[in-house]
Amino acid sequence: MSEQSGEKSVYDICGADFFVALVDAFYDGIETDQVLLPMYPEGSDTVGARHRLATFLMQYWGGPHTYMEERGHPRLRMRHQPFVIAERERDHWLMHMARAIESTMEMIPEESREVVVDQLAQYMVNAAEHLRNN
């Protein structure tokens, strides 16, 4: 949804609190996932990872450019290259993200819920597949 076309961005519709809740729900699952947790250098201390993902998603969906200011260009493939990301890892990541989206859906205004959830889900599937490197 482009602000230039007069439509509100997902960030405008959902707000920062939605993205923080989404990422918190996602990482609550990651912290118990023995397939994905070993990929995190800080282990179960996901505070930094939560902040990075939340600010990235906010920026991507039309919010402030905090991620870019703190980390520069996202370069997602480069940042994920050191980790083996095959179908199994992709599927675990998507499972946790789908659960997170489902658990935060009620935070999305009802009149926008279907379109926002569809956009989020489509982006997450595409991003997860794009980051596969094995």
Any idea where the domains of the chain sit in the sequence? 11-130
Q: What is the mean pLDDT of the chain?
A: 94
Phi, psi of 124 (to 5 degrees): -65, -40
Mean pLDDT of 88-93: 98
Q: What's 75's DSSP letter?
A: -
Among 42-56, 71-85, 107-121, which stretch is predicted with the lowest mean pLDDT? 71-85
Provide the percentage of residues in the chain whose pLDDT is more than 70.
96
Evaluate if residue 1 carries a pLDDT over 50: no
Evaluate if residue 11 carries a pLDDT over 50: yes
Domain spanning 11-130, CATH architecture: Orthogonal Bundle (1.10)
pTM of the shown model? 0.92
pLDDT at 49: 95
Mean pLDDT of 106-122: 98
Outline where the chain has alpha helix (H). Answer: 10-14, 16-30, 47-60, 66-71, 76-80, 87-104, 110-130
Q: What is the DSSP string of 19-47?
A: HHHHHHHHHHHHTT-TTTGGG-TTTT--H
pLDDT tens profile 38-70: 998 888 899 999 999 999 999 999 999 999 999
- What tokens appear for 16 in the block? 């920062």
pLDDT at 6: 65
Letter for the amino acid at 5? Answer: S
CA dihedral 4, 9, 12, 15 (to 10 degrees): -150
Q: CA 98, CA 108: separation in Å to the nearest integer?
A: 15
Evaluate if residue 3 carries a pLDDT over 50: no
CA 119 to chain centre: 12
CA 4 to chain centre: 24
